[in-house]
């Protein structure tokens, strides 16, 4: 490409100098020829891609590809947001369901506790109504924890004779258990 350009410039220079000799007297003609040479030279310069770089399509293409990539990312983020919102709704529904179940369990536990308290009260009344010797025999042979609980819930004027009717060791052990139970009772 450079050799063609060099040849054209050399030919233009020869032709211009030859023409200049021919038309020495006529300045308008000379001016027209110089103008023509400039136009031809610029045409040769414009035809050379190395001399005048054409605007590159790379930045435009790069911007388009980035725009497409951003659009894809926005779409992916939007879909992920929709998925997360659906999960949030599902989780909120499950939490509400579990809270409902928990309330039901609390109600059942309260009923069981009430029933257990009622049974214990009935058992205490039964032992209070028994003669002290019979109650002492039964409580000596039963579980220490249960016996201590029953004795601690009995009225003191009824529990005293029952403890007196027991053996000393068993009465001491039950009294110790009863004191531990009283320490663990919640204060209102």
Residue 10: CB atoms within 10 Å = 10
CB 174 within 8 A of CB 151: yes
pLDDT digits (tens, 9 = 90+) for 10-23: 555 555 555 545 54
List the single range of 31-45, 145-159, 167-181 with lowest mean pLDDT. 31-45
What pLDDT score was predicted for residue 50?
A: 54
Instruction: Kindly state the tokens that stand for 139.
Output: 């409580």
Instruction: Kindly state the tokens that stand for 118.
Output: 């009622």
Q: Is the dihedral of CA 98, 102, 108, 109 positive or negative?
A: positive
What pLDDT score was predicted for residue 70?
A: 92
What pLDDT score was predicted for residue 23?
A: 47
The packing angle between helices 168-184 and 144-153, to 10°, is 70
Instruction: Round the average pLDDT of the chain to a whole number and report it.
Output: 79
For residue 45, name the pLDDT band (cuts at 50, 70, 90). Answer: very low
What pLDDT score was predicted for residue 183?
A: 75
What pLDDT score was predicted for residue 31?
A: 59
Mean pLDDT on 117-123: 93
The pLDDT of residue 181 is above 90? no
pLDDT digits (tens, 9 = 90+) for 125-157: 999 999 999 999 999 888 989 999 999 899 989
Cα–Cα distance between 161 and 156 in angstroms, integer?
9
The pLDDT of residue 167 is above 80? yes
Range of 27-36, 43-52, 110-119, 166-175 with top mean pLDDT = 110-119
List the single range of 20-29, 34-43, 156-165 with lowest mean pLDDT. 20-29
Mean pLDDT on 93-113: 96
The pLDDT of residue 46 is above 50? no
SS (H, E, C) the chain: CHHHHHHHHHHHHHHHHHHHHHCCCCHHHHHHHHHHHHHHHHHHHHHCCCCCCCCCCHHHHHHHHHHHHHHHHHHHHHHHHHHHHHHHHHHHHHHHHHHHHHHHHHHHHHHHHHHHHHHHHHHHHHHHHCCHHHHHHHHHHCCHHHHHHHHHHCCHHHHHHHHHHCCHHHHHHHHHHHHHHHHHCCCC
Chain-centroid distance, C-alpha 117: 45
What pLDDT score was predicted for residue 104?
A: 96
The pLDDT of residue 74 is above 80? yes
């Amino acid at each position: 490409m450079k050799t063609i350009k060099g040849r054209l410039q050399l030919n233009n220079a020869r032709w211009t100098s030859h023409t200049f000799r021919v038309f020495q007297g006529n300045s308008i003609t000379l001016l027209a020829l110089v103008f023509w040479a400039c136009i031809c030279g610029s045409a040769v310069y414009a035809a050379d891609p190395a001399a005048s770089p054409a605007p590159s399509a790379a930045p435009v293409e790069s911007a388009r590809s980035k725009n497409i990539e951003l659009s894809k990312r926005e779409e992916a983020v939007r879909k992920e947001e929709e998925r997360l919102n659906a999960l949030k709704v599902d989780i909120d529904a499950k939490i509400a369901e579990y809270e409902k179940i928990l309330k039901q369990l609390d109600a059942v536990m309260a009923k069981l506790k009430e029933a257990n308290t009622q049974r214990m009260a009935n058992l205490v009344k039964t032992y209070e109504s028994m003669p002290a010797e019979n109650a002492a025999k039964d409580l000596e042979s039963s579980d220490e924890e249960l016996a201590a609980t029953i004795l601690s819930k009995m009225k003191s004027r009824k529990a005293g004779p029952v403890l007196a009717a027991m053996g000393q060791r068993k009465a001491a052990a039950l009294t110790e258990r009863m004191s531990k139970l009283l320490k663990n009772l919640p204060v209102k």
